[in-house]
Amino acid sequence: MKKILIASLMLIAMVSCTKDFESTNQNPNQISDQLLKQDFNLVGSPFSGMLLNLFGGQIEEDLCYDSWMGYMGNPSYFVNNRNNTTYFITWNSYWGRVYGNVMSPSKQVIQLAATNNLPLFATWAKLIRVLSVSKLTAVHGPVIYSNYGATTAQINYDKESDLYNTFFLQLDSIQADFAANKTYSGFAKFDPSYKGSIPAWQKVVNSLRLRLAIRLSKVAPSVAKTQGEKALADPAGLINTNAENFVVSLNGSIMPVAQISLQWNDTRMGAIMESFFVGMKDPRISKFYAPITNPALYADHPTVPYKGIRGGGFNDDKKAQTVFSTCSMDFNNAQTRRAFTASEVAFLKAEAALRGWAGAGVAKTNYENGVKLSFEDWGVGGVDAYLADATSKPADYVNPLNAQNNFKPLSTITVAWNDADNNEVKLEKIITQKYFNTYTNTLEAWVDHRRTGYPKIPSVAKNDSDATWGVIPVGDYIKRMPFINGERTGNTAGVADAVSKMGAGAKDDIATRLWWDTGVATNF
Amino acid sequence: MKSMLLVFCSVLCMFSATFAQTRQVTGKVTGSDNQAVASATIKVKGSNAAATTNADGTFSLKAPAGSFVIQVSSLGFAAKEVTIGASQATVNVSLTAQANDLSEVVVTALGIKREKKSLTYASQLVAGDEVTRAASPNFMEGLSGKAAGIDIKVSSSGVGGSTKAVLRGARSLQGTSEALFVIDGVPMVNNKGGQPGSYGGNDRGDGLSSLNPADIESINVLRGANASILYGSQGANGVILITTKKGKAGKTVVNFNSSTVFDQVTGIPDLQFDYGAGGGDKNWSKVKGNYQKDYVKDFFQTGITATNSVNVSGGNNQTTAYFSYSNITAKGNLPTNTYDKNTVTLNQSTKLFNEKVTLSSNVIFANEKSYNRPGAGYYNNPLTGLYVFARERDFAAYKKDYQIFDPARNLYKQNWYSTYEFQNNPYFEVYNNSKLATNNRVIANVKLSYDIAKHLKFETRGNIDYNDVLFDNRYVAGGNSVSVSSNGTWSYTKYKDQSLYTDGIFTYNNNFGDFSVTGLLGASYTKNTFNDGMNVGNGTVALQYPNFFSFANMPYNVIFNQSLNRTIKEGAFASANIGYKEMVFLDVSARNDWASTLALTGNQSYLYPAFGLSAIVSQMVELPEVISYLKVRASHSETGNEVPFNVVNPWNSIGGAGGPSGIGGINRNTQVPFTNLKPEIITSDELGAEIRFLKGRLGLDFTYYNSVSTNQFLSLAAPSGSGYSSYYVNAGKIVNKGFEITIDAEPIRTNDFKWKTNINLSQNKNEIVELIASNPNYQVGGNDEGFASIIKAGGSFNDLYITKFSRNAGGQINLNANGVPVAAATQVKVGNVNPDLIAGWNNNFTYKDFFASVLINGKFGGVAFSKTEAFLDSYGVSQRTADARVNATIPINAISSTGTAVTSIDPALYYSSIGDRNGIMEPYVFSRTNIRLGQLALGYTLKVKNASLPIKDASFSLVGRNLFFFFKEAPFDPEQSMSTGNGMQSNDVFGMPSTRSVGFNIKLTF
C-alpha cells in the first residue's frame, strides 16, 4: 500500500509542474518588447515598415491606377482578361494593407511612445497615418479614421469633408510639434528617408498640406485656399529640391515594377505613355522603360524603339506582347521609391498660382521648374530644348498585334508654356507634366485625372464593368474602388453609413464619384 | 542489414535452446469442422511452458516430466483443458467455436485490453492482413472501406504520399479533424507537411508512411471521442489504435513477403488533338489538322512499387522478440519520381522477478526518400504545359530539346513556346527541377509493467518519437519566370519533430460477488517540439550565381526563418468499469488536462468527464433462438481541446532584411492578446447495439452518434477600424451526427468453401449551427481562384461556392455587348464536397487452398469540382471543345444585351469566356458519387505438409487496387485527392490523374 501511495504522489508531482508553460508557449523566433527596448528600438523599429506600406504592390498599383492611367499595360490575360484593368473588380487589397500595416502598428507606436516618454515618435506616426490614409481615401472615399480603434461592433467611416478637416488639424499639430523640436535626433536610426532630420519632415508636412489643399480646390475652394496658402507660407518650407525629395526605402525588397515586369515577365510600358512620350519627344522614356529590338513592332515611329501595351485592352496572347517594352532595367537596382518629389511640389505651386493663391509664385516659373526638377531627378538632359518645344504633340498609338487597341490621342498640347493660353490649357500642361513625373507613384495622377480631367487620356479599350461593381459607360473612367468584402460583411452598418455619407444616390460601386471629384468639366 | 538479421536469428535460437528440458509433446489443434486452428496457444497449467500452433494447427511443446494439464485457447473458440499422460507424446485437441465473441478481447485506449462486451462505445477491429492484402504501400489506403465511419482520402501524389482520415466528420475549424494514431498504446506523431493549392506546391507527406504495414497485427478503430477520453484532446477526433506484431513463445517464425505492384494512369482528361492554336497559346483553330496524339499518355510512365519485407519472431516464456525489415522501392507515374523507404522494427518483451515485472521495448526506424513527388496547381507543374500544349506544334521536339542553350547567358534555358506563367515545358520541369524530401525517424519506447498485488498492476511507458525532415526544392535558372528567379530558386526546409511521452497507470481488477470492478488511475506527460528548424527560400529574388544552391549564394535580402511549435500537455485521469453478473457494465471516467498553450489565460487546467453503460440483453432475457447475442450501449463524453501554440500573446517579427545600409524594420504583432482563451469542448453522445444471429454467423453493429463541438478557436480578421489586424474568439457550434452500420456474415461455411462478408456503412451530417452569434455573416474561407470552400452558420463544413451564369428571371443566360456570357455577381453554394454516405463491402472467399478477396467501395452524394476542365476548355484542348467545333455552335438559352433571345453561341467564345482561372465554374461541378472495385486479390496458399522442408507455408496472390469504376461522374477520382489538407477537397487543379494498380504478392513462412 505504501508503494502505491508513493507512486501516486510521484504521478501527481509529475503533472503539477506548469510553471514553464508561459515560456513554452512563447516562440523564441519572435522578438519581445523587452529585447527591443535595447538601443531604444522599441518605438522606432516599426517605422521603416510603415513607410514602405504607404505603397502597394502588383494588385494595388500595377493592376489598378498604373494601368488605368496608362503608365503600364499588362500582357497577361488575368482572370480571362476581365479584371481591375478592364473595370471589373477582382482585387481590392490596398485597404487591408493600410489598416494592417500602417494604422494598426502606428496605434501601438503611439501608445508605446506615450509609455516610453518619446512623444515625437507619436507625432511622426501620426504624420505617416495622414500620408497613408490620405492615399486610401483617394481610392475609396470615406474611410475609418477618427473612429479607428473603437470597440463597438459598428465602426463608422469619416465623411470625406470631415476627414480632410481632421487631416489639416492634425498637420497643424504635427507641424507645431516638429517646429518646437527641430534639432531632435531620435529618429535618425529608424528613418531611412531623412536620417531623422526634423526640418526635412517639416517640408513633407507642408508639401502634403499643399497636395491635399489642391485636391479640394474645386469642391471646397476656400478651405483649399486657406490650407494651400498656409502650406506655402510656413517657414519650414516645402520640398523644393530633389535632395529634399521624400523617398521610401524598399527595405531590401525589389522595386515592385521591376519584379512584375522583369522577374515575372509581366507588366509592360503603357500605350498612353508611349503616345505622350513618343509624340512629345520626351527623353525620360529611356529612364522609365526599356527599348526593344524588333523594328517591326515600332514601325510607326522607327526612331523611338519603344512599344507599350494598352491598359485594359484586348490581350489574348501573352507571349506576343511580352516582347514590348519592359520597365527600365534601372529599377532592378532601386533601393528606394519616390513618395513625394520637389517636381510634384512645383506643379502643385503652378496650379496654386493659376488659382491665385498667395505665396504660390508665377505659374510659368513653377511649371518649368517642375519639368527641370523632374528631368534632374530622373537623370536626363535636354530640358531646355524640351521646354521650348511648341510643336510636338502626342502621337497615335498603334498596336502591331491587335488594332482594337489602337487610339488617337485626345490631347493636343505641347510642352512649351504659352502665357496666352487660357487657364484650362495651362492646367492641362501642368497636370500632364505632373503626371509624367509621378511615374511609379501614380495614385495622385488618378486623383488629378478624376478632379481635373487631365491628362486627357483614352478610357479602357475593353470595358467589362457591369452591375456587379457598377457600370462605367463606354468612354468614361473608373471613379473609385468599392469597400472591401470584409467590411461589407463584417461592418455592414458602418459601410451603409459610409455610403450615405457619399451623398444622395451614392452606391458602393466603381461609378460613384468621390467628394472632390465634382463632375464639373471646367476647372476654373 | 543481412548481418543484423543473422545476429537476431541466432539470439532467437538461443532463447529456444535454453529449453532443452525433459520431453517433447507434439499435436494438432482443430476446430469442430476439422479445420486446423492456427495461432492457438498451448500452455502448461501451473508452468511457464507454452507453445503456439502453426498455420496447419500443429504445435510442439517442451513439456515437463510426468502427467500435466495443457490449456488450449484461441480467439473465437472456447478454451479447453486437456490432461497429458506421463508417457503421452502426441495429442490432438478439438476446440469448439464460440457462438459469439463474448470473450473477445480488444485493445482500448492506452493499450489497455478489455473484453469487448464491456465496452460502452463503438469500436471496430480490422486484422492486419486486411490492410496489407492488396499490397498498399500505405496501410491507411488498405483500411479504406473496411471500417465504418472513417472517410479516407489518399493523396494523388503516389507512393509515400499523405492520407487524410476523418472519423465522424470534420469539426475543427483550425485543426485537421483527423484521427489520432496510437501504436501499442502510445500516441504517434502524424504531422502533415504542406499540401498543394491552386497556385502549386507538392504533397509533403505525413507521419503514417513511416510505418511498415507488415508490422501491423491489427487496427482497432475507436470512432468517437467517447473511446478516447484517456488521450485527452488528441483523441477528440477518434483514435486509430495500431497493435504491432510481437514475438510469441514457442518456435521461431520467419515470414517473408514480397510484392510488386504496377500503377497505371487511368484518369487522363478527355483531350482533343485535332485542332491547333495557330501559332498562339489557345487551341481554337477551326481547321482540323493531323497532329501528334500520344504524347500525353506517353508522358506518364508505368509506376512500379516493389515491397519486400521479412520478419523474424519467436521467444520463450520469459522473453519474446520480433524483428522486421522492409524496403519499398518505387517509381512513380511521373518521369523521375521515385520513392524509397526502409524500416526496421525490433521489439522484445521480458518477464522478470517471477513474472511480476514485464519489461518490453519497441524500436521503429524508418528512412524515407522521395524525389520529385508530383504536385498540383498552376506553377511548376509539368501537367499544365502537357495538357494545354498547342496541338500543331511538334511535342517530340520539345521533349527532345526541352532546354536550349542561351548564348547570351552561357547557360541552358527552357525551350517552350508560351511565356504564360502557368505552363512550362513538362520535361524541363521534371528533368531540371528537383524536389527532394527525406526523413529519418525513430520511434522508441519502453514499457514496464509490475504486478504489485494480485489485483493491482502498475504500468509505465516512455516513448520518444524523433523525426528529422528535409525538403529541398531546386528550380533552375531559365525556367518559369514568374515563380523562379533569373538565377534559379531554392526552397530549403529542415527541421526535427520530437515528441516525448510518458505515462504511469495503476489498474485494479477484482470481482466482488456478482460485481466486477476494473479501475484505472494514471497520469501522462507529453512534450512536443515540432518544426524545430529552419526554412529559407529566395523566391524570385535572384541568387548571387546561377544554379548554385547553397546558403552562401543567397542574396543579402533573403530572410532565414526559424520555426518552432512547442507544447506541453499534462494529464491526470481516472476511470472505473463496474460489471454486474457479466451482463451490465458501467463506465465512469474523468480527465484533467494542463496545456501550455493556454498559459496566461487562467484556463490552462480543465476537467472533463465521460460515462457509459452497456447491457448484454441476451444474457438478461430469453431471446428468440435466432438471436444469439444482443448488446446495447450508450455513452456520453466530453473532451477538451487545447489551442495551437503561441496564439495567446505572440511577440513581434523582423520585417525584412533592410537595405544594404539599413536595418529591417520590426513588424509589430497586431493580434489582439487573447488572455481569456478557453479550451474547445466536444460533447459526444452515442447509442449502439450489437446483435448476432444464427449462432454468430450474422452480426450487426449499429451506432448513432451526435457530437457537438463548441468554443471553437477562431482566428478572425479584426474589423478594419478596431486597431488590430486579427483577433481570436471562442465561438461556434458545430454538430456532427450520423450513424454507422457494420454487418458481418459468413453466408457460406462448408469444409471446402467459405465466404465471409462485411459491409460498412456510415453517414455523417455536419451542421454549422453557429459561428459567431454577433456576426451571423462571418465565414471561414474565401474565394480561391474561382471557387470557395466556405464554412458559415447554417451551412456545413466544406460547402462549395462557385460563380454561376448570370440569368434573367426567365432563366436565360445574360450575354454582354460582346455576346459573352455574364457571370453572376456573387458566388453561390452548389453543394458540399463531402460524401453523404460512405460504403464499403468487403468479401473474403476461400476454396480449399485458394482464396479471393473483393472490396467494393462507394461514396455517395456530394459534389466534386474540376478547375482542370475549366482550363482545358478555355484552352480548347478538351474533347468537349472539339465536339462543339464540329457543329461550330453550342446551343444556349441566353439573352443578348439588347434583349433578344440567343440560342447558339460560338464554342471558342463560350469556352474561353467561362473557363480558365476565375471564370464561370457552373459547368465544372460534378456529382462526387463513385463506386469502384477498390481491391481484388486472388491467391493460392501452399501448405507444406513435409516437415523436413524449411518452408511451412507459402502463398501467392494477384492483387489489384482501384481496378475500375462501376460509376463515376467526375472527370477525376475524388478519393485520390490533390490535397489532404482541409481545403481543396474533391477538387482538381491539375492534380495527378488517378491510377489503377495491379501486381502480385508472395508470402513465405519458414
Q: Does B557 touch chain A (CB under 8 A)?
A: yes
The helix/strand/coil state of A358 is coil
Distance of CA B292 to the CA centre of its chain: 40
Distance of CA A240 to the CA centre of its chain: 20
Q: Is the pLDDT of residue A13 over 60?
A: no
d(CA B860, CA B927): 9
Q: Which is higher by pLDDT, B703 or B718?
A: B703
pLDDT of residue B27: 86
d(CA B618, CA B631): 7
Q: Which of B722, B772, B818 to mutate: most A Cβ within 10 Å?
A: B722
Q: Which domains does chain B have, with CATH numbers?
A: 21-95 (2.60.40.1120), 105-651+669-798+833-875+916-1005 (2.40.170.20)
Looking at residue A461, the DSSP 8-state letter turns out to be S
Q: What is the DSSP string of B468-515?
A: EEEEEEEE-TTS-TTTS-TT-EEEEEEEEEEEEEEEEEEEEEEEETTE
Q: Do A252 and B919 touch (CB under 8 A)?
A: no
Q: Does A13 touch chain B (CB under 8 A)?
A: no
Q: Are B251 and B710 in contact, with CB atoms under 8 Å apart? A: no
A127 backbone dihedrals φ, ψ, rounded to 5°: -65, -40
Mean model confidence pLDDT for chain B? 86
- Judged by CB atoms within 8 Å, which residues 22-41 of A form the interface with B? 22, 24-33, 36, 41
Q: Is the pLDDT of residue A348 over 90?
A: yes
Q: Is the pLDDT of residue B348 over 70?
A: yes
Q: Does A332 touch chain B (CB under 8 A)?
A: no
On the CB side of B669, how many CA atoms lie within 13 Å of its CA? 20
d(CA A285, CA B461): 74
Tell me the torsion sign for CA atoms A318, A323, A328, A332: positive
Burial grade of B719 (CB within 10 A; 0-12, 13-18, 19 or more): buried
Assign B15 a pLDDT band (cuts: 50, 70, 90): very low
What order do you get walking across the sheet with B41-44 strand by strand? B50-52, B41-44, B68-73, B80-84
Q: Does B777 touch chain A (CB under 8 A)?
A: yes
The helix/strand/coil state of B587 is strand
The residues, any chain, with a CB within 8 Å of residue B889's CB and separated by 6 or more, are B904, B905, B906, B907
pLDDT tens, residue by residue, B438-469 = 999 999 999 999 999 888 999 999 999 999 99
Q: Read off the amino acid at residue B573.
A: F
Between the two ends of chain B, the Cα-to-Cα distance in Å is 19
Pseudo-torsion of CA B301, B306, B307, B308, nearest 10°?
-170
- Judged by CB atoms within 8 Å, which residues 938-997 of B form the interface with A? none
Q: Tell me which chain A residues have a C-beta less than 8 angstroms from the C-beta of B110.
A: none
Q: Which of B3-12, B360-369, B447-456, B922-931 has the lowest mean pLDDT?
A: B3-12
Task: Of A208-212, B104-108, B774-778, give the range with the top mean pLDDT.
Answer: A208-212
Of B333, B494, B485, B55, nearest in space to B993 by CA: B333
Q: Is the ipTM of this complex over 0.90?
A: no
Min Cα separation B446/chain A (Å): 18
Residue B541: closest CA among chain A residues belongs to which residue? A254
Q: Are B113 and B706 in contact, with CB atoms under 8 Å apart? A: no
**Could you tell me what percent of chain A has a pLDDT over 90?**
82
Assign A5 a pLDDT band (cuts: 50, 70, 90): low
The answer for A359, left when phi > 0, alpha when psi is -120 to 50, beta otherwise, is left
Min Cα separation A176/chain B (Å): 26
Three-class DSSP labels, A249-266: ECCCCCCHHHHHHHHCCC
Q: Which is higher by pLDDT, A51 or B598?
A: A51
pLDDT of residue A6: 56
pLDDT tens, residue by residue, B724-741 = 888 888 888 999 999 999
Assign B558 a pLDDT band (cuts: 50, 70, 90): confident
**Interaxial angle between packed helices A160-179 and A119-140, expressed in degrees from 0 to 180 and rounded to the nearest 10:** 150
Q: Do B659 and A252 touch (CB under 8 A)?
A: yes
Q: Can you tell me the mean pLDDT for B217-231?
A: 78
pLDDT tens, residue by residue, B68-100 = 888 888 766 777 888 888 888 888 888 876 644
pLDDT of residue B7: 39
Q: Can you tell me the mean pLDDT for A299-324?
A: 87
pLDDT of residue A395: 97
The helix/strand/coil state of A323 is coil
- Judged by CB atoms within 8 Å, which residues 311-330 of A form the interface with B? 316-320, 322
Three cell numbers written together for B846: 476461400
Q: Can you tell me the mean pLDDT for B31-40?
A: 75
Map grid coordinates 455573416 to a residue: B777
Q: Does A104 touch chain B (CB under 8 A)?
A: yes
The helix/strand/coil state of B836 is coil
* Model pTM above 0.95: no
Assign B953 a pLDDT band (cuts: 50, 70, 90): confident
pLDDT of residue B234: 78
Assign B19 a pLDDT band (cuts: 50, 70, 90): very low
In this structure, the strands spanning B23-31 and B58-63 are antiparallel
Of B296, B295, B292, nearest in space to B268 by CA: B296
Q: Is the pLDDT of residue A319 over 70?
A: no
Of B418, B392, B380, nearest in space to A322 by CA: B418
pLDDT of residue A462: 92
Map grid coordinates 524594420 to a residue: B665
Q: Does A391 touch chain B (CB under 8 A)?
A: no
Residue B717: closest CA among chain A residues belongs to which residue? A486
d(CA B323, CA B313): 6
In this structure, the strands spanning B953-968 and B995-1005 are antiparallel
Between the two ends of chain A, the Cα-to-Cα distance in Å is 101
Q: Does B623 touch chain A (CB under 8 A)?
A: no
Q: Tell me which chain B residues have a C-beta less than 8 angstroms from the C-beta of A4.
A: 452, 456, 458, 506
Assign B11 a pLDDT band (cuts: 50, 70, 90): very low
Q: Tell me which chain A residues have a C-beta less than 8 angstroms from the C-beta of B648.
A: 25
A48 backbone dihedrals φ, ψ, rounded to 5°: -65, -35
In A280-341, alpha helices (H): 285-288, 318-322
A15, A49, A259 ranked by CB distance to B594: nearest: A15
pLDDT of residue B406: 94
pLDDT of residue B2: 42
Burial grade of B399 (CB within 10 A; 0-12, 13-18, 19 or more): middle
pLDDT of residue B103: 55
The helix/strand/coil state of A387 is helix
A28, A251, A319 ranked by CB distance to B658: nearest: A251
Q: Is the pLDDT of residue A330 over 60?
A: yes
Q: Are B246 and B253 in contact, with CB atoms under 8 Å apart? A: no
- Judged by CB atoms within 8 Å, which residues 208-267 of B form the interface with A? none
A150, A251, A490 ranked by CB distance to B655: nearest: A251
pLDDT tens, residue by residue, B45-60 = 777 777 778 777 888 8
pLDDT tens, residue by residue, A417-439 = 999 999 999 999 999 999 999 99
Q: Which is higher by pLDDT, A114 or B210?
A: A114
Q: What is A40-501's CATH topology?
A: 1.25.40
Q: Is the pLDDT of residue A12 over 60?
A: no
pLDDT tens, residue by residue, B958-1001 = 999 999 999 999 999 988 888 887 777 788 999 999 999 999 99
The helix/strand/coil state of B854 is strand
pLDDT tens, residue by residue, A471-506 = 999 999 999 999 998 888 878 899 999 999 999 999
Tell me the torsion sign for CA atoms B129, B130, B135, B141: negative
The residues, any chain, with a CB within 8 Å of residue B373's CB and separated by 6 or more, are B157, B158, B160, B161, B202, B203, B205, B332, B337, B339, B435, B437
Assign B102 a pLDDT band (cuts: 50, 70, 90): very low
Three cell numbers written together for B368: 524515407
pLDDT of residue B774: 73
The 10 Å Cβ neighbour count of residue B633 is: 24
pLDDT tens, residue by residue, A140-185 = 999 999 999 888 889 999 999 999 999 999 999 999 999 999 999 9
Min Cα separation B917/chain A (Å): 6
| Size of chain B, expressed as the number of residues it contains | 1006
Q: Which of B668, B729, B816, B867 to mutate: most A Cβ within 10 Å?
A: B668
Q: Which of A220-234, A445-459, B594-608, B881-895 has the lowest mean pLDDT?
A: B594-608
The residues, any chain, with a CB within 8 Å of residue A48's CB and separated by 6 or more, are A190, A191, A192, A249, A251, B655, B658, B662, B663, B664, B665
The 10 Å Cβ neighbour count of residue B353 is: 10
